[in-house]
Amino acid sequence: AAEGQKEEQKLTHKLLALLPKEKGWRTTNLYLYQNFWCQQKEIEATKHFKAEDADIIVATIPKSGTTWLKALAFAISTFSAFGTHVPFGSLPDSIRESNCRIVYVCRNPFDTFVSIWHYLVKIRPENFGPFSLEEAFDMYCKGVVGYGPYWDHMLGYYKQSLETPHKVLFLRYENMKKDITFDLKKLAQFLGSPFSMDDERGRVVEEIANLCSFLNLKDLEVNKEGKAISEFENKHLFRKGEVRG
């Protein structure tokens, strides 16, 4: 297995040498791989995920409401909800070929940009120096941001949700902010666990919405002190949670 891993690393290095690259936001480089910008370790991770029929995949471009949607899906369904930022066309075959379902949340590019800038300024290594809003905006508009360009990412999932609505559900952050109970019912239906009349009469939908509200999630101990991924503190995932764009 160790030999296999070494061979794979060698191949990845050869591949990286051929890919177009740009300065990253919080890493030395971003590489243009299969028409989206990502880091080396993301290229490696993309190949290995094996989806099961019962899996729920929460797909987003970063800062679109991943944490919120994961919490909602987790509250509704007994199945595991994995998260990915990889564009639809580059998902591992097992996700596209299995019966697993994908829920995509799209947020307007203005708010997504502002959110990712604030986030990356906080988690970027100090020795990278300052990173101005202007410089970041320029890179974002050129599509040079992790998993960007934004429009290709969003359109890939949007088109797929029209072609195979049983496979991909396309939600909008702004609609969720306006009327979360409407989208929550849609999500439950899509995940095969629709709310019953009794649930609705018992205000279960409102309870779940409230459980996963911005203030409630932000206030959880695990989100004040914890780290879901080793380098990233969960508290940075909750800033304002508003719609401005």
Binding positions for ligand A3P, rule: CB under 6 A: 60, 62-68, 111, 115, 118, 212-214, 217, 237-241
Residues, the chain: 245
Find the shortest distance in angstroms from Cβ 208 to ligand A3P: 12
Q: How far is the CB of 150 from ligand A3P (least distance, A)?
A: 13
Nearer to ligand A3P, 11 or 228 (CB): 228
Shortest Å distance, C-beta 159 to ligand A3P = 21
Closer CB to ligand A3P, residue 30 or residue 212? 212
Take residue 175 and report the two structure tokens written for it. Answer: 């609609």
Closest to ligand A3P by CB, 12 vs 174, is 174
Active-site pick, 85, 153, 166, 236: 85
Question: Among residues 68 and 170, whose Cβ is nearest to ligand A3P?
Answer: 68
Closest to 30 in 3D by CA, of 144, 138, 114, 153: 144
Smallest gap from residue 97 Cβ to ligand A3P (A): 26
Bridge-based pairing of strands 101-106 and 56-59 is: parallel
Q: Which residue has the tokens 């061979």?
A: 7
- Based on the residue annotation, tell me whether 13 is a catalytic residue of this protein: no
* Catalytic center residues: 85
